[in-house]
Amino acid sequence: MALAQEPTILLLDEPTSILILVTRLKFWSCCENSTARKKVTVVAAMHDLNLAALYFERLVLLGPGLVCADGSPDEVITKEIIQKKYSLLK
């Protein structure tokens, strides 16, 4: 319904969090195709880094009150950044 209103920006907050993986993939593929044709910018808050990396050309990884990383999926989803952000031990 949001795309039917022909927005220039689409803001989404965890739109697929309650869906199973196959439905998540279908949603994001549909969203990607629709927004590319209609030249819509999509801004989505999501916790699934794998899906974010698959469907978005730019990621902004947020921490408490700060930006931890900003760039392409290859620049943001790195071992060093993820370890630092999530305080993971080697």
pTM summary value:
0.81
Residues 14 and 49 in one domain: yes
Question: Looking at the predicted structure, is the pLDDT value of residue 90 above 70?
Answer: no
The residues with which 69 forms a beta bridge, in sequence order, are 61
Decide: helix, strand or coil at residue 85.
helix
Residues 49 and 62 in one domain: no
Number of domains the chain contains: 2
Question: Looking at the predicted structure, is the pLDDT value of residue 3 above 90?
Answer: no
Model pLDDT for residues 14-43, shown as the tens digit of each residue? 999 999 999 999 999 988 888 888 888 999
Going 39 to 56 to 66 to 19, the CA torsion angle's sign is positive
DSSP 27-50: HHHHHHHHHHHHT-EEEEE-S-HH
Residues 34 and 70 in one domain: no
1: tokens are 């319904």
Residues 10 and 46 in one domain: yes
Domain residues for 76?
Answer: 58-90
Decide: helix, strand or coil at residue 74.
helix
Residues 29 and 2 in one domain: yes
Residues 51 and 63 in one domain: no
